[in-house]
Structure 1
Amino acid sequence: MPETPARVRTWLITGAGRGLGRAFAQAALAQGDRVIGTVRSPGAMSQLVDAHPNSAREVLLDVRDAQAVTAVVDDAAQESGGLDVVVNNAGAGFVGAIEEVEEQQARDLVDLNLFGAMWVSRAAIPHLRAGGGGDIVQISTVGAVGAMPTFGVYNASKWALEGFSEALSAEVAQFGIRVTIAQLGGFATDWAGTSMTFAEPKPEYDALRTDLFGTPVVPWPAPDADTQPTDADPRLAADALIAHLGDPDRPLRVLIGDDAPEQATLAYAARRDSYGTRRPFDWPEDSA
């Protein structure tokens, strides 16, 4: 008997114009699915749209605008006949010791990294439920397991992302909706480049920045044009996410990137040790 052709799924991917979001969109399109990608700059997805005119669409959206998010998600679902996979990828990094952080900088980052994903998830749930289920993917980081000096606001936004996503997973399982928290390691994107913002540095933290980054100067100097990236290709992250979503027994969390398991191990060990040597509980053993 001939094989039944795979069902074409519709993906909604935020921040699809570059980096990881673009890689996720390319991977979905390559397997014959449809992609609706949100971007902040018109034309950011033009190459993908030109290459896949019948299955890729670009939509302008600032995910921090809850009303605009609802309108875009509703329109995407109506046009495509529903949604199957929602990837909350839009986000940014931030460097600054807590003493250096301005209030608006912190609010802007949390609005983007936390509330943007929350508004998109909230708007997508009715459409995923109407279709009998689907997937919500939160692009997180191993920085949501531990924390690093000068990344405190960024870490906080991602820890909060994981907190609401874990609760969300239990809320929507009854509708056949699966939630994935993808904890990524280092990938060669613009996250640490023009996407990164910085607090105004205070000299009291020059020594710390030197220890961490090799220089007290922020923003960091732009790398030479001939400098080869040391982080992994974003396409590897996309391949790993596709494989994870294809696993019927997929867990809530998945580590993506060769460096991610070691970083998570160190972070969890540091959290265990932060209770001291006379902690009033037994550290859980692996139940697998």
Structure 2
Amino acid sequence: MKTWFLTGASRGLGAVWTNAILARGDRLAAAARDTTELEPLAEQYGERFLPIKLDVSDAEAVRAAVKTVEATFGGIDVLVNNAGHMLTAAVEEATDDQIRAQMEVNYLGALWTTRAVLPGMRARRSGRILQVSSLGGLLAYPALGIYQASKWALEAVSESLAAEVAAYGIHVTLIEPVMFPTTLMTQSPQSAKDPAYAHAHEALYAGAASSGFSPGNPATTADALFALVDAPEPPIRALFGTGGLEAVRTEYAGRLASLENWDHVARLAQGHTSDDQ
């Protein structure tokens, strides 16, 4: 029986995973800003379930929550950083407060919980940390730059962390969902639209329509989550859903081609001439 700490547990994929984790017989501490939706589960699962009202952007509250979970269950085997929202806005459209909130929840919130569980995991020399990123943690689209910046930051820190904690038997995996019908976009704060960037929003929706991505079934993501948690050697990254791999191949091939085409500038910066080998 594993002990999980899951943030963003009351809606979307988090709600699916909450139910699946408990149904599989594990212990779960489920964190959410509003725990009202979790109360029936507390009655059903008793001592195996601990709902926690938590704003992950509050670092002190996160540390206190982790201590409570460790005191209640004796340790945390699996952390799933799922709390987050998606700001749709051109870079200039987003307000200062919206930008800060996006980074504080999606990036810093995950960082605070990760840092809080590490001492216990290191002491036990085992643990799984799963960061819910996005296909947008690998690619970037117009009108999603602030949201995707938060995911790119999470990707970078998680890759560094994985190298730092492997010696302690701790595995870090980035989950990158492609397209799932949840309330992520509709329940997230949005910016006031500036007509100057109408083309950017149109490009975003046109790109989504032509991407060929098929909406996945949120319910089946729990099987994928368990496959990662139960794997002896899980990957650093795992796409959830189809179509993402092809999109990443295309994007990365384009990046490499551009870097090769402009390698003369790299060599110029190094002080090499076109004749140097």
Deviates more, 1:109-118 or 1:24-33: 24-33
Residues 266 and 197 of structure 1: is their aligned pair in 2 closer, same or farther, counting only changes over 3 Å? farther
Helix, strand or coil at the partner of 2:92: helix
- Aligned partners of 2:142 and 2:203 also within 8 Å: no
TM-score if structure 2 supplies the norm length? 0.88
Inter-partner Cα distance in structure 2 for 1:242 and 1:26: 13
Which string of whole-angstrom CA distances, capped at 9 and with x for unpartnered residues, describes residues 58-77 of structure 1?
10000000001000001101
The equivalences for 1:130-169 within 5 A come to 130-169=123-162
Q: Which residue of 216, 220, 232 maps to 1:236?
A: 220
Residues 50 and 94 of structure 1: is their aligned pair in 2 closer, same or farther, counting only changes over 3 Å? same
- Aligned partners of 2:86 and 2:184 also within 8 Å: yes
What's the offset of the Cα at 1:275?
Answer: 2.4
What's the offset of the Cα at 1:278?
Answer: 4.3
The equivalences for 1:18-29 within 5 A come to 18-29=11-22
Report the equivalent of 1:258: 242
Which string of whole-angstrom CA distances, capped at 9 and with x for unpartnered residues, describes residues 193-234 of structure 1?
11x2222111111233234326xxxxxxxxxxxxxxx72222
Inter-partner Cα distance in structure 2 for 1:144 and 1:74: 30
Residues 239 and 104 of structure 1: is their aligned pair in 2 closer, same or farther, counting only changes over 3 Å? same
Q: CA RMSD in A?
A: 1.7
Inter-partner Cα distance in structure 2 for 1:266 and 1:242: 29
TM-score if structure 1 supplies the norm length? 0.85
1:77 is aligned to 2:43: no
Which string of whole-angstrom CA distances, capped at 9 and with x for unpartnered residues, describes residues 43-69 of structure 1?
121233233223122100000000010
Q: Percent identity?
A: 38
Which string of whole-angstrom CA distances, capped at 9 and with x for unpartnered residues, describes residues 12-51 of structure 1?
0001011111122222212210110001013121233233
Report the equivalent of 1:267: 251
Q: Which residue of 166, 171, 181 maps to 1:178?
A: 171
Report the equivalent of 1:50: 43
Residues 100 and 80 of structure 1: is their aligned pair in 2 closer, same or farther, counting only changes over 3 Å? same
| Structure with the bigger percentage of helix | 2
Inter-partner Cα distance in structure 2 for 1:85 and 1:125: 11
- Aligned partners of 2:82 and 2:132 also within 8 Å: yes
Inter-partner Cα distance in structure 1 for 2:221 and 2:254: 26
Inter-partner Cα distance in structure 2 for 1:244 and 1:88: 14
1:201 is aligned to 2:185: no
What's the offset of the Cα at 1:279?
Answer: 3.5
What's the offset of the Cα at 1:245?
Answer: 1.8
Residues 48 and 269 of structure 1: is their aligned pair in 2 closer, same or farther, counting only changes over 3 Å? farther
Q: Which residue of 174, 182, 188 maps to 1:189?
A: 182
- Aligned partners of 2:135 and 2:177 also within 8 Å: yes
What's the offset of the Cα at 1:113?
Answer: 0.4
Helix, strand or coil at the partner of 2:75: coil
The equivalences for 1:273-288 within 5 A come to 273-275=257-259, 277-279=261-263
What's the offset of the Cα at 1:267?
Answer: 2.9
Gaps of 5+ in 2: 207-213, 267-277
Inter-partner Cα distance in structure 2 for 1:51 and 1:259: 38
Helix, strand or coil at the partner of 1:83: coil
Q: Which residue of 89, 94, 98 maps to 2:82?
A: 89
Helix, strand or coil at the partner of 1:197: coil
- Aligned partners of 1:186 and 1:259 also within 8 Å: no
